[in-house]
Amino acid sequence: MASKSEQYMLRCLELAQLGAGSVAPNPMVGCVIVHDSRIIGEGYTSPYGGNHAEVNAINSVNDESLLKKATLYVSLEPCAHFGKTPPCANLIIEKKVKRVVIACLDPFAQVNGLGIKQLMGAGVDVKIGVLESEAKELNRRFFTFHQKKRPYIILKWAETSDGFVDKARTAPSEPSLKITCEASNILVHKWRAEEAAIMVGKNTALLDNPSLTTRKYEGKNPIRILLDGKLETPEAASIFSDEAETLVFHVGEKEKGKRKNGVELIAIESVKNLESILTELHSRNIQSVIVEGGPTLHASFYKAGLWDEIRRFVSPIKAENGVKALQLSETPEEECQIGNDHLLIYRNR
């Protein structure tokens, strides 16, 4: 049975999840304030640029005099630096909160223990490590971004029961193989809304003409990333619409340019140099990328070990021939049924 501290921290994690898709590049954080075994305030991080969880929780308390006798629970170390907002550690000290329980340290270099040091230096009783692994799992994108200096990478595809992702096609006039059910399609659009960016290669852009937006789910469109070494994708392609920002990595002179509709060209030595591409995305504060390209692009990330999660739909339909899906040696950590499809999720631990 969970302890009282764990129960309050579970509530913090529940609140934190409400910020999914809107707080990045900030982490998802939840906070509850407890007085005499009763929650008197709670909050979670506002969309990027807005208040952090601790500020929203403190602002929700009706009687501020109770803060001096309260315990503040928070799923990530309170910040100690001036960013878009003032330091949360300063506010906690100002309000004379006597005790703070924290799930885990913040890996961001400008925090990373400094918030805790500041609180303890002001005489606050600090406890660290309640549901630490659960808190890190919730913010795995944030931790990967700061610890590995690259975005969190999700490889996603759908395949038939006999292991094909499409028919063998050579022209966009040939329709693609429809593999997943509508429930799976809606889920994929929800995922798009939760990630910072979405990536495909040139062949996918030419054959499928995808828009890579969240048409089937209400949410923000991710930044679109296209790997097109020779800039062969026509300007009229859906990926260049004004619905979302598009970054195009190509081989050329070391300069950056613009097409219409906010499409930015980024010249690199090779579009096969994934580490170079991820370094550029990291410099742009892009915290996560869902890769929806074909099996060639998926295999490049997979073989390089540059992946954190694989989301693989397996449909009951058969193709008998066509383009083979990437073969995996790992065992899925999670499995579930989505409509007629079987969803398998793998993690690169």
Distance from CA of residue 190 to its chain's centroid? Answer: 12
Please report where in the chains the tokens 């997943």 appear, as a residue.
180
Give the span between the Cα atoms of 181 and 340, in whole angstroms. 6
pLDDT band, very low/low/confident/very high, at 259 (cuts 50, 70, 90):
low
SS3 132: helix
Helix axis angle, 274-283 relative to 295-304, nearest 10°?
90
Provide the pLDDT for residue 134. 97
Q: How far is CA 193 from CA 10, 238, 288, 313, in A?
A: 24, 18, 11, 19
Please provide the DSSP assignment of 113-131 as one string.
Answer: THHHHHHHHTT-EEEE-TT
Model confidence at 112: pLDDT above 80:
no
Model confidence at 3: pLDDT above 80:
yes
Please report where in the chains the tokens 């990967």 appear, as a residue.
144
Residues recognised as catalytic: 54
Chain length of the chain: 349
Q: How far is CA 16 from CA 12, 45, 57, 132, 200, in A?
A: 6, 7, 12, 14, 30
C-alpha angle 278-243-184 in degrees, rounded to nearest 5? 75
- Contacting residues for 94 by C-beta, under 8 A, at least 6 apart: none
SS3 100: strand
- Contacting residues for 249 by C-beta, under 8 A, at least 6 apart: 225, 226, 227, 228, 266, 268, 271, 277, 280
Structure tokens at 195: 């990630």
Provide the pLDDT for residue 108. 81
Strand 334-338 relative to strand 341-347, pairing: antiparallel
The neighbouring-strand residues paired with 173 are: none
Model confidence at 84: pLDDT above 70:
no
Number of other CB atoms surrounding residue 17 within 10 Å: 12
Q: What is the pLDDT of residues 115-126, one digit of tens each?
A: 999 999 999 999
Model confidence at 257: pLDDT above 60:
no
Strand order of the sheet with strand 38-44?
A: 38-44, 30-35, 71-74, 99-102, 125-128
Q: What is the pLDDT of residues 46-78, one digit of tens each?
A: 998 899 999 999 999 999 999 999 999 999 999
What average pLDDT does range 21-30 have in this prediction?
90
Model confidence at 233: pLDDT above 90:
yes
Model confidence at 179: pLDDT above 60:
yes
More confident residue, 252 or 342: 342
Q: Are 315 and 179 in contact (CB under 8 A)?
A: yes
Kindly calculate the radius of gyration of the chain based on its CA atoms and give it in whole angstroms. Answer: 23
Q: How far is CA 349 from CA 1, 140, 208, 305, 328, in A?
A: 28, 11, 32, 11, 15
